[in-house]
Structure 1
């Protein structure tokens, strides 16, 4: 490593304070790291050390303790201490052979210190050295961060970042984008390079199915260690950057990978923003497609070579409505329209691509329309599409964006021909969601609302139907302030179960009986006949579109004397 942030026992033994020290066992472990120094004279210390510490002791506790020096040493080895330094003279004339044998067996350095050496001199010297190295490590990282940032503003930003990373670490650098060709600095023999990349891809597949994801990833590979860090932006992983370490990775290795991944993410994000602006200007034709104002020949012209692939794929239209459009709070320098057009649409595009869709986006104020082509037809479409929507909802509703989204999708159709139909269907899903407490996603899920919404365009037919079946209840609720309309809906939704309906309405059963009698009085004795029941259910669904305020759910207190 070009910057030596790791302090090893071999380095420590060269210090003046260790001039008269002798290594009596474990000479093969002199490359062990020293993170800190502890004076440890107690026999029970399971929670007192974290690992990679130099332990100083005189052996005073063995005069009165039943714990033997060998068991003390065994415990240090188990807790991953770096070495044991024993002061000779007062409590140890010689180090027991059993300790030497155990230390050699585990390559655990055992160091004899001369009598009278002051432990405070050792701790002061080494702690100053450790802290000073840590300070220089942070300064080095700070300078490196500035270099990374400068490189992201120049051409070939990622390539130059990888070169600088190699120069600073002298380790094999690995860059694996999710899209595109992997890059190694320096290059390896083709066979060796492919073997390394296959190993990494296999490990990443296993990690993706694991519930825990320690970052950075660390895997042993041919007497070395692969350290791999994800390059993330906008809640998604776009690539991985890693290095092949000679030994166990140090803190410096993890930090430098973290900083380089951030710089690469900035470079990727900048390029994606530029691409998003270009796509926005090019995709004006998408709005014409959704409104059936463009010919197949014009579509072929706009798409170029992509047309041949896309015309044979299924596509559907997704509409995203931003409910709190007028309440979005951004930094003073940011415009809401710019934020939605570029920041949010970039996140949407990346999410669709992540799950195997090719998106084309157009934006009209608070509505974003996406024509999504399914590039993975062998895999079920709807589960992947639900994952897309869940990701967009999660990212959009987070603290940084704070968006309230209404999302709906039309049916999927082959090619471009029926995109306008899918667009209309997606709009109907949004309409239903606005009037419903339940949220639908696909057009196929809205059931009888498909019929109702199409009938709504036929003048007064649907309104007349609603008033014919529900008019008396609507007038009674308006005049008396009662909830008979909502009571009927809940009663029918629970298949006429009085117990379940009363529980849902938060009223006692006697109150429900009273309401049902009043409903019977207004609608007639046979309102629960099969034909009337079906008509009432359809009318209630239509009523949700015309008079949503009358069917707003109210959690009522138990009332023994309802209106």
Structure 2
């Protein structure tokens, strides 16, 4: 007969890291009815979990046994075939039984040595029962012990649940949850986010830091336990309990699971509040950068409620992801109350911001959003570390920071604190295998100058990336002639100048013409040094002479006309700014 355990009598973390229910064989041997029993083999298997009991009194018992059973027998089914005992241990072990308890004397006088050796080798406990104990007494006693343990575990779990829920109802956060769990378990406990950063910790600092590494592994009984914090289908991190002395108990995993559930509620609540606050802050900063937030006094007063200090000289930093999909252009604050797209097309028409550009694949869009969120988090952390009064907000495709600039000129700040912020943010963001470029504005003395400073930072980040590639950091004042070209308000005029100056070389459709334009660019960069140009382009000297003649027939005598050379140089610079 089989008596299953109804419900979770106790919690046990098996060596595989999975949660099972029941009592280990070693504890079952401690009940009063088994005090006269002797363990004769399989001592290494005392940690096997007993979930049910079964009595073997039929020959075909193997068809009825179940995993995690304690099997009781007098040997009656095997009295006529003692040779079957040699293989019985192997058969039972393969079916996942916890242990075998045998009462000798009535049907079997002894157990074969091969059976005992095999049980020791497999770590399968073999127990000899006393003659004066009945199977019904064992069944009742073990089941009673299991049920008593179940009641104690459920009572403690309910107590923990009430305490943790009370923390949430009283407005407590992750730190209070972690403190409560650490006090209950009497071990170190930490809440980690998805990047293994410690959000809250209780216990010695060295234990809290150790849990950052433990959170990456699987749960291990005794030393540490790990439970994921999941809400709304999203993994928000982990709750980790750590005890170097191995003092974690059977039921501690249940308490940790309750704590993870409460932590998920706290995290989602904090995220909801943070999302609303972040959007409100970003909207107000967008209004400031668009010149729609009111006069300086109103802006300064309103920002002080956010912890932003704009009543001082400041500069604007714009960080933008590199390698963004085309068509996914930023929506930037405009002074007419709307939002304007970022790039200018080759025909002088503004490229449409999304929606309206090339649609991004769903997977790509989700990846971009996640990268943008991580960039915002990295920048916020880096900026706050250097300037507590800075304003930081994430827009659709960029992170904007307004930082103090009262301690020096823009160039010095760009090479000092700003460079440090960029390096710190880049170090965090490097884990995601993405880069970002940064644009830096001039210093402005009041909020009224922020719209212009923002435009400067945007131009700096775009031109800097074009000139220096991904990961560029550019100050507006360091853009040289590109700064002057970026100040032209009518892009169509710039592109008309390119077409009029370069003629056929302005297009990208013909590879031969693109190659000729490259030759012209290197000639101008080397100040018409034919030998140096031939070396850079790997041309024969006579080949280059032929190309120069062809270029002059198309563009005019630029080798003799300094003004023409200036126009050609400017036109090539405009082409390098294409898409900015």
TM-score, normalised by the number of residues in structure 2? 0.50
C-alpha distance in structure 2 between counterparts of 1:449 and 1:439, whole Å? 21
**Are the counterparts in 2 of residues 348 and 392 from structure 1 also a CA contact under 8 Å?**
no
Give 1:371 shift: 1.9
Question: Structure 1: 5+ residue runs without aligned partners?
Answer: 38-51, 55-59, 64-81, 115-127, 185-195, 331-335, 395-405, 503-510, 549-563
C-alpha distance in structure 2 between counterparts of 1:177 and 1:23, whole Å? 44
Moved more, 265-274 or 156-165: 156-165
C-alpha distance in structure 2 between counterparts of 1:215 and 1:20, whole Å? 39
C-alpha distance in structure 1 between counterparts of 2:306 and 2:422, whole Å? 27
1:363-374 alignment runs, 5 A limit: 370-371=400-401, 373=403
Name 1:353's counterpart in structure 2: 380
C-alpha distance in structure 2 between counterparts of 1:142 and 1:530, whole Å? 87
Name 1:426's counterpart in structure 2: 457
The counterpart of 1:156, out of the listed 157, 162, 171, is: 171
C-alpha distance in structure 1 between counterparts of 2:36 and 2:282, whole Å? 77
Name 1:272's counterpart in structure 2: 271
C-alpha distance in structure 2 between counterparts of 1:310 and 1:53, whole Å? 74
Name 2:440's counterpart in structure 1: 411
1:184-199 alignment runs, 5 A limit: 196-199=203-206
C-alpha distance in structure 2 between counterparts of 1:373 and 1:389, whole Å? 20
Q: What SS does the aligned partner of 1:370 have?
A: strand
Q: What SS does the aligned partner of 2:391 have?
A: strand
1:273-312 alignment runs, 5 A limit: 273-278=272-277, 280-281=279-280, 285-291=284-290, 294-295=295-296, 298-299=299-300, 302-303=303-304, 306=307
1:50-129 alignment runs, 5 A limit: 89=110, 91-92=112-113, 111=126, 113=128
TM-score, normalised by the number of residues in structure 1? 0.51
Question: Structure 2: 5+ residue runs without aligned partners?
Answer: 1-7, 13-22, 53-67, 71-82, 87-97, 130-142, 322-329, 332-352, 406-415, 523-531
Q: 1:110 to 1:543 in 2, by over 3 A?
A: closer
Name 2:210's counterpart in structure 1: 203
Give 1:542 shift: 0.8
Q: What SS does the aligned partner of 1:410 have?
A: strand
Superposition RMSD in Å: 7.2
Q: What SS does the aligned partner of 1:443 have?
A: strand
**Are the counterparts in 2 of residues 316 and 413 from structure 1 also a CA contact under 8 Å?**
no
Name 1:5's counterpart in structure 2: 11
Q: What SS does the aligned partner of 1:286 have?
A: helix
Q: Does 1:214 align with 2:246?
A: no
Q: Deviations over 1:167-223 (max 9, x none)?
A: 9x7554735689999675xxxxxxxxxxx4222244257x39xxx93256x79xxxx
Q: What SS does the aligned partner of 2:47 have?
A: coil
Q: Deviations over 1:512-555 (max 9, x none)?
A: 9999885565246877999988975653341255699xxxxxxx
C-alpha distance in structure 2 between counterparts of 1:542 and 1:274, whole Å? 46
Q: Deviations over 1:119-175 (max 9, x none)?
A: xxxxxxxxx9xxx9xx99xx99999999899779744354786698689x7554735
Q: 1:440 to 1:250 in 2, by over 3 A?
A: same
Give 1:414 shift: 6.8
Name 1:539's counterpart in structure 2: 571
Q: What SS does the aligned partner of 2:204 have?
A: helix
Q: 1:144 to 1:368 in 2, by over 3 A?
A: farther
Q: Does 1:382 align with 2:422?
A: yes
Structure label with greater radius of gyration:
2
Q: 1:305 to 1:468 in 2, by over 3 A?
A: closer
Give 1:409 shift: 3.2
**Are the counterparts in 2 of residues 311 and 414 from structure 1 also a CA contact under 8 Å?**
no
Q: What SS does the aligned partner of 2:317 have?
A: strand
**Are the counterparts in 2 of residues 317 and 411 from structure 1 also a CA contact under 8 Å?**
yes
1:505-524 alignment runs, 5 A limit: 519=551, 521-523=553-555
Name 2:498's counterpart in structure 1: 466
Q: 1:455 to 1:371 in 2, by over 3 A?
A: closer
**Are the counterparts in 1 of residues 24 and 49 from structure 2 also a CA contact under 8 Å?**
yes
Give 1:303 shift: 1.0
**Are the counterparts in 1 of residues 318 and 440 from structure 2 also a CA contact under 8 Å?**
yes
C-alpha distance in structure 1 between counterparts of 2:306 and 2:394, whole Å? 25
Give 1:423 shift: 1.5
**Are the counterparts in 2 of residues 489 and 537 from structure 1 also a CA contact under 8 Å?**
no
**Are the counterparts in 2 of residues 176 and 183 from structure 1 also a CA contact under 8 Å?**
yes
Give 1:410 shift: 2.3
Q: Deviations over 1:366-423 (max 9, x none)?
A: 56652254999598222223356667997xxxxxxxxxxx965321677975754542
